[in-house]
Chains A and B, each alone.
Chain A
Amino acid sequence: MRFFDNRNTLGRVFMLPAGVLLLLFLTYPLGLGTWLGFTDAKIGRAGEWVGLDNFQFLFGDSVARLSLFNTLFYTVVASIGKFALGLWLALLLNRHIPFKSFVRAVVLLPFIVPTALSAIAFWWLYDTQFSVLSWALTRMGLIDQYIDFLGDPWAARFATIAANIWRGVPFVAITLLAGLQTISPSLYEAASLDGASEWQKFWYVTLPMLTPIIAVVMTFSVLFTFTDFQLIYVLTRGGPLNATHLMATLSFQRAIPGGALGEGAALATAMVPFLLAAILFSYFGLQRRAWQQGGNDK
């Protein structure tokens, strides 16, 4: 076993199982997907190189352009909502409350349960005829007729965004709570001695100390929202009138039931620049403030 005494050899042997799986099912498909985007591949037929044809076609396709708008709208609104509500919930959970650990555990439930299954519950909540939300609002006298949550383009956009926020808030809240707990109480004591108000403490102590973790959490959140698929697929399948089609759902629809693998792959590839932009933005735009962690640079 002399052979394995060399750390380079042993290291590579240890990397082998993970490496093979990832190269075969992650790196290779990533390359293959990009290549497919430049071909006219259909299901059951290998494609031929067609250059930028797919991208040109998609650029001229009004549904594809609408899906880009929908994706950006969905991502921006849902991310802002998740951040604001998540931060608020994290601040509430960080205070002294009865049944603290129980409440924290319960809060995370929407994130644990399979999204496809909780989306069915939302589908039922948004039902045109039997929606309990409409029922409650009618009883309270706020609306006259039942809301067509998933039938009207703008109502459907906001309904799906609401479901996405519902699912994402616990993740943001619990991770930000972990960040809040690392802030030393002495900073707040010092601020109190200097006469800072609650708001000033939040703005000048909590927020700057939390920025690095906010950057990471929101990068993940934006990434997962931008590439969301299940929620839309279950709730609307992209309808009504393609008003909720995201790039991911449209690429699925074109590629799998539609059979146009090349076009679907091109749509998926078109998402990559946006994802890279989001990662770079959070890395350079927000991470730079790492000095606020008391000069603890990476």
Chain B
Amino acid sequence: MDYLESPMRRWVTLYIPLLCFLVILLFPFYWMAMTSFKPNEELVSRAANPFWIVQPTLAHFERLLFTTAYPQWMWNTILVSVVATFTSLAASVFAAYAIERLRFRGSKQTGLAIFLAYLVPPSILFIPLAAIVFKLGLFDTRWALILTYPTFLIPFCTWLLMGYFRSIPYELEECALIDGATRWQILVKIILPLAVPGLISAGIFAFTLSWNEFIYALTFVSSSENKTVPVGVITELVEGDVYHWGALMAGALLGSLPVAVLYSFFVEYYVSGMTGAVKE
């Protein structure tokens, strides 16, 4: 009954609280950007207005890109996220199709197991996984991350894709079967084209999850040239008690941009992925 509301009441109950939410939720990003362009003298000055920059500088970015291994961390993060996402997506398509459509004996239990696997948090897995990674001789390699990220990506993607496959009418498959298509042809020519939105949702979500991953990357990788952005920024840019706030914020800003840009192109897919996984 919005039209019955007085403008005054609408401001107090809607716009002002909403504005407060937006300001608080976005302030850390504003602060990140502000700090990364601010010269050091202004950063430590208590007299200056901290909310504005008098003389913007690119010095922090220059330091970050040319004197640290940041570009290498960026490349590692991209490589690991892309490979882990595509591997998981491929494995999940087959798994979801098998569980949802082939209905092999035990598929119900497998579906439940996949859901339970989704609930296993990385912070109780990282110690034994470190032991396994070490035994396999993968310690301190990018392979350690590429192979362990699917443990949280596959359950998520499979669960999401199962929901999507369920929404595709079974009759389409029956028609194809009658026309003599094999299961493989059905999957590639009928199911996958119809499930493209689901694939994009799962892919975007999986990519951001791998980009954000921290504890495995912190535990399984120790040398600077194999680190990912979140871990590299935390472990290498802090030297003793001297915090290079400008460079740290520049690193955080650059590391957040790729996921933020990707997200801005696929907001709807991302949201449907997130809510879809919860709603099932």
Which one of B99, B110, B234 lies within 8 Å of A120 (CB-CB)? Answer: B234
Q: Does chain A have a CB within 8 A of B57? A: no
Other 12 A-B pairs with CB < 8 A, given A10-B104, A12-B104, A174-B271: A11-B103, A21-B91, A29-B128, A30-B125, A109-B25, A117-B233, A130-B43, A229-B122, A230-B214, A251-B127, A256-B127, A261-B131
Which one of A4, A18, A217 lies within 8 Å of B91 (CB-CB)? Answer: A18
Q: Does chain B have a CB within 8 A of A213? A: yes
A-B residue pairs, 5 tightest by C-beta: A11-B104, A14-B98, A116-B230, A227-B121, A18-B95
Q: How far is the CA of A216 from the CA of B109 in the complex (A)?
A: 20
Q: Does chain B have a CB within 8 A of A112? A: yes
Chain B: interface residue total (CB-CB under 8 A): 91
**Which label, helix, strand, loop or mixed, suits the secondary structure of the B interface?**
helix
Which one of B29, B95, B105, B219 lies within 8 Å of A14 (CB-CB)? Answer: B95
Q: Does chain A have a CB within 8 A of B154? A: yes
Which one of B95, B263, B279 lies within 8 Å of A112 (CB-CB)? Answer: B263
Residues of A at under 8 Å CB distance from B? 1, 4, 7-8, 10-12, 14-19, 21-22, 24-30, 32-33, 36, 41, 85, 88-89, 92-93, 95-97, 101, 103-110, 112-118, 120-122, 124-125, 127, 129-130, 132, 135, 166, 169-171, 174-175, 178-179, 192, 213, 216-217, 220, 223-224, 226-230, 233-234, 248, 251-252, 255-256, 261, 264-265, 268-269, 271-272, 275, 279
Residue of A nearest to B95 (CB): A18
Report whether A248 and B131 are in contact in the complex, using a CB–CB cutoff of 8 Å.
no
Min Cβ gap A279→B in Å is 7
Given A18-B154, A21-B150, A234-B234 in contact, is the A105-B267 Cβ separation under 8 Å?
yes
In the complex, chain B residues whose CB is within 8 Å of the CB of A252: 123, 126, 215, 219
8 contacts between A and B (CB under 8 A): A33-B128, A112-B259, A115-B212, A117-B256, A175-B278, A220-B278, A229-B215, A233-B234
Q: Does chain A have a CB within 8 A of B178? A: no
Q: How far is the CA of A117 from the CA of B253 in the complex (A)?
A: 8
In the complex, chain B residues whose CB is within 8 Å of the CB of A127: 243, 245
Report whether A25 and B147 are in contact in the complex, using a CB–CB cutoff of 8 Å.
yes
Most chain-A CB neighbours within 10 Å: which of B126, B147, B249? B126
Which one of A22, A174, A213, A220 lies within 8 Å of B151 (CB-CB)? Answer: A22
Report whether A7 and B129 are in contact in the complex, using a CB–CB cutoff of 8 Å.
no
Given A10-B102, A175-B275 in contact, is the A223-B121 Cβ separation under 8 Å?
yes
In the complex, chain B residues whose CB is within 8 Å of the CB of A109: 25-26, 29, 260, 263
Residue of B nearest to A268 (CB): B124
In the complex, chain B residues whose CB is within 8 Å of the CB of A129: 44
Q: Does chain A have a CB within 8 A of B94? A: yes
Q: Does chain A have a CB within 8 A of B6? A: no
Report whether A120 and B249 are in contact in the complex, using a CB–CB cutoff of 8 Å.
yes
Min Cβ gap A251→B in Å is 7
Q: Does chain A have a CB within 8 A of B1? A: yes
Residue of B nearest to A29 (CB): B128
Which one of B2, B98, B211, B234 lies within 8 Å of A10 (CB-CB)? Answer: B98
Min Cβ gap A119→B in Å is 8
Q: Does chain A have a CB within 8 A of B168? A: no
Report whether B279 and A117 are in contact in the complex, using a CB–CB cutoff of 8 Å.
no
Report whether B183 and A10 are in contact in the complex, using a CB–CB cutoff of 8 Å.
yes
Report whether B255 and A117 are in contact in the complex, using a CB–CB cutoff of 8 Å.
yes
Which one of B97, B132, B259 lies within 8 Å of A25 (CB-CB)? Answer: B132
Q: How far is the CA of A25 from the CA of B73 in the complex (A)?
A: 24
Report whether B124 and A114 are in contact in the complex, using a CB–CB cutoff of 8 Å.
no
Within B119-159, which residues are at the interface with A (CB < 8 Å)? 119-132, 147-148, 150-151, 154-155, 158
Report whether B50 and A19 are in contact in the complex, using a CB–CB cutoff of 8 Å.
no
